[in-house]
């Protein structure tokens, strides 16, 4: 890979992944694809930026030609909760954006496309504990439907055209740089911000809701490990389960209380409860471990200590 375009560079994962890829592959070789008119200086000052909306094929094509792009990381997606409010919007961005990326990569004979999937591919009927790599995929959200279709499309382009397409099923991702938006797992980020700012949090899912989660440094590590993995050693392509930790909201709140004893939590479940209930408690990521050596670094306690320290400093500095 010589020139990488990251679509969705201003999102929760995209914003940190773009900077990490610049360290890994050279700042001038990683083009931040942005949609916002005012992206953060961290993106604009550390390497090239271009306005790219993946649903606009002509615009994507122009950026690819201008920078001789030979790999695309497609981080643009409408997540589960926003997708339930506007299913056609989710379909348009997640499906039409992806097919444009795949077609563009095929026509330009690109070296690689990385397009993430999610635990949202699972649904009722999927085993909830240690959910296997190969299992029932019958999601009930539009986001999940687009992610299953995306996995199938990715594998189709590998088989039919020999295009190197890779993807991993992200669990809920927790980070302290850019806020997530429109996901069901967002509570696991918001709880830390509110613990620091107000000492209390009202959660939109019940206390016994348990989901697979991952801290951002592990998410970046997994994504880059998969991008660098030897294609010939991969038996799977677009659908790797990746795990790190799994906890209930109650366990998360208790862990935060260890460091902020006055922290209080209350519960007001909304429509996102049904989405969370349709997703696994924990997942089996042995295929990722076997095929490209996946191993996470962070557990719940290590993540909490880091989150509270970073957000505590940002709060003192008036940044949050
Ligand atoms: C969401 O909650 O929609 C996302 C996801 C699990 O893919 N964070």
The CATH number covering residue 119 comes to: 3.40.50.720
Mutate to test the pocket of ligand 1, among 186, 188, 222 (most ligand atoms within 8 A of CB): 186
Average pLDDT over residues 178-186: 95
- The average confidence (pLDDT) of the chain is 97
> Does 199 lie in the same domain as 143?
no
Domain assignment of residue 291, yes or no: no
Instruction: Strands of the chain (E only): list them.
Output: 4-7, 30-34, 49-51, 71-74, 112-114, 117-118, 165-166, 168-170, 172-174, 200-203, 210-215, 240-241, 245-248, 264-267
CA 172 – CA 247 distance, rounded (Å): 11
**Is the model's pLDDT at 35 over the cut of 90?**
no
Domain assignment of residue 287, yes or no: no
CA of 188 to the centre of ligand 1 (A): 11
Residues 6 or more apart in contact with residue 316 via CB below 8 angstroms:
none
Domain assignment of residue 290, yes or no: no
> Does 155 lie in the same domain as 178?
no
> Does 221 lie in the same domain as 82?
yes
> Does 35 lie in the same domain as 162?
yes
Specify the ligand 1 atom closest to the Cα of 171.
6
Domain assignment of residue 286, yes or no: no
Q: For the chain, what is the domain count?
A: 2
pLDDT, position 178: 92
User: The pTM is what?
Assistant: 0.97
Domain assignment of residue 251, yes or no: yes
CB 183 near ligand 1, within 6 Å? yes
pLDDT, position 37: 72
Q: Please write the tens of the pLDDT for every residue from 94-138.
A: 999 999 999 999 999 999 999 999 999 999 999 999 999 999 999
Mutate to test the pocket of ligand 1, among 81, 82, 142, 184 (most ligand atoms within 8 A of CB): 184
Q: Please write the tens of the pLDDT for every residue from 193-241.
A: 999 999 999 999 999 999 999 999 999 999 999 999 999 999 999 999 9
Say if residues 286 and 131 touch (Cβ distance below 8 Å): no
Model confidence band, residue 63 (pLDDT cutoffs 50, 70, 90): very high
Average pLDDT over residues 62-82: 98
- Compute CA distances 129 → 119, 179, 210, 219, 283, whole Å: 12, 28, 10, 21, 7
CB 204 near ligand 1, within 6 Å? no
pLDDT, position 77: 97
**Is the model's pLDDT at 39 over the cut of 90?**
no
> Does 184 lie in the same domain as 149?
no
- Any idea which residues carry the catalytic annotation? 143
**CATH number of residue 309's parent domain:** 3.90.25.10
pLDDT, position 3: 98
Domain assignment of residue 288, yes or no: no
**Is the model's pLDDT at 38 over the cut of 90?**
no
> Does 178 lie in the same domain as 40?
no
**Is the model's pLDDT at 185 over the cut of 80?**
yes
> Does 206 lie in the same domain as 145?
no
CA of 28 to the centre of ligand 1 (A): 31
> Does 33 lie in the same domain as 154?
yes
> Does 182 lie in the same domain as 48?
no
> Does 96 lie in the same domain as 36?
yes
Domain assignment of residue 289, yes or no: no
> Does 155 lie in the same domain as 91?
yes
| Boundaries of domain holding 205 | 173-214+245-281+298-316
Ranges 24-28, 38-42, 92-96: which has the least confidence: 38-42
pLDDT, position 257: 98
**Is the model's pLDDT at 80 over the cut of 80?**
yes
CB 90 near ligand 1, within 6 Å? no
Mutate to test the pocket of ligand 1, among 79, 89, 168 (most ligand atoms within 8 A of CB): 79
> Does 16 lie in the same domain as 99?
yes
CA 39 – CA 32 distance, rounded (Å): 10
Q: Please write the tens of the pLDDT for every residue from 132-163.
A: 999 999 999 999 999 999 999 999 999 999 99
CB 120 near ligand 1, within 6 Å? yes
Domain assignment of residue 183, yes or no: yes
């Amino acid at each position: 890979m010589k020139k990488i375009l990251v679509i969705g560079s201003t999102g929760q994962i995209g914003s940190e992944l773009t900077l990490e890829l610049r360290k890994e592959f050279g700042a001038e070789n990683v083009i931040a694809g942005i949609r916002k008119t005012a992206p953060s200086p961290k993106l604009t000052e550390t390497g090239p930026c271009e306005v790219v909306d993946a649903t606009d094929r002509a615009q994507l094509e122009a950026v690819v030609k201008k920078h001789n792009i030979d790999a695309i990381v497609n981080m643009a997606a409408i997540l589960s909760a926003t997708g339930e409010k506007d299913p056609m919007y989710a379909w348009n961005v997640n499906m039409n954006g992806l097919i444009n990326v795949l077609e563009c990569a095929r026509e330009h004979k690109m070296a690689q496309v990385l397009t993430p999937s999610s635990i949202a591919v699972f649904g009722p009927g999927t085993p909830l504990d240690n959910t296997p790599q190969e299992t029932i995929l019958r999601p009930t959200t539009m986001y999940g439907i687009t992610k299953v279709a995306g996995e199938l499309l990715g594998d189709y382009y590998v088989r039919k055209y020999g295009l190197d397409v890779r993807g991993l099923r992200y669990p809920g991702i927790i980070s302290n740089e850019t806020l997530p938006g429109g996901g069901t797992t967002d509570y696991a980020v918001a709880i830390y911000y509110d613990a620091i700012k107000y000492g209390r949090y009202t959660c939109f899912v019940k206390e016994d809701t348990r989901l697979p989660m991952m801290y951002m440094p592990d998410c970046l590590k997994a994504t880059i490990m998969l991008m660098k993995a030897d294609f010939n050693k991969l038996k799977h392509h677009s659908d790797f389960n990746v795990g790190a930790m799994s906890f209930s909201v109650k366990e998360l709140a208790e862990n935060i209380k260890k460091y902020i004893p006055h922290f209080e939590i209350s519960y007001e479940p909304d429509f996102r409860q049904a989405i969370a209930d349709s997703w696994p408690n924990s997942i089996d990521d042995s295929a990722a471990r076997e095929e490209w050596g996946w191993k996470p670094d962070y557990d719940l306690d290590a993540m909490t200590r880091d989150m509270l320290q970073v957000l505590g400093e940002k709060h003192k500095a008036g940044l949050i």
